[in-house]
Amino acid sequence: MTELERGEYTLTDDPGRVDLDRVHRWLSEESYWAAGRPRDLVARSIDGSIPFSVLTGGEQVAFARVVTDGATFAWICDVFVDSRHRGRGLGTWLVDSIVDSLSAQGLQRFLLATKDAQEVYRRSGFAELEGAHRFMEIDRRPTRNAILGRA
């Protein structure tokens, strides 16, 4: 179990410390990629992932989850920092901590997707996907156009 301290903030991967109602609200009401996502789907996605939370005073202020095979690959997704806590480096700390934690377990490949936070993730070592033409997908998400920046 990962638990780190930084000033007033605690970062943990303890699933029991996820504030599901808050995370659901962030994702379904404030994110572009999960707009309208039902609460039960958010709960199932967390149950099938490794959730990371940043807390202060017992209140959740940031969240991300990782989908991984635990050996070779990790997809970092649903990264969200509460608007009242942005600009304090929490998103970078969260992503760096995830990469460090899973790298220590031997994982060597990490992916994530973003429409507009490339500079944030570059600070954590991410770069544009090389060989993207080799990847294929089926994407039936109702938010696909918003994710891709289309009207």
Kindly report whether the global pTM for this prediction surpasses the value 0.85.
yes
Architecture of domain 3-147: 3-Layer(aba) Sandwich (3.40)
Task: Please give, one letter per residue, the 3-state secondary structure of the chain.
Answer: CCEEEECCEEEECCHHHCCHHHHHHHHHHHCCCCCCCCHHHHHHHHHCCEEEEEEECCEEEEEEEEEECCCCEEEEEEEEECHHHCCCCHHHHHHHHHHHHHHCCCCCEEECCCCCCHHHHHCCCCCCCCCHHHCCCCCCCCCHHHHCCCC
Domain residue ranges of the chain, discontinuous segments joined by +? 3-147
* Model confidence pLDDT, tens digit, residues 72-103: 999 999 999 999 999 999 999 999 999 999 99
Q: What percent of the chain has a predicted confidence (pLDDT) above 90?
A: 81
Q: Is the per-residue pLDDT at 151 higher than 70?
A: no
Poorest-pLDDT segment among 34-43, 70-79, 101-110, 128-137: 128-137
Q: Please give the mean pLDDT across all residues of the chain.
A: 94
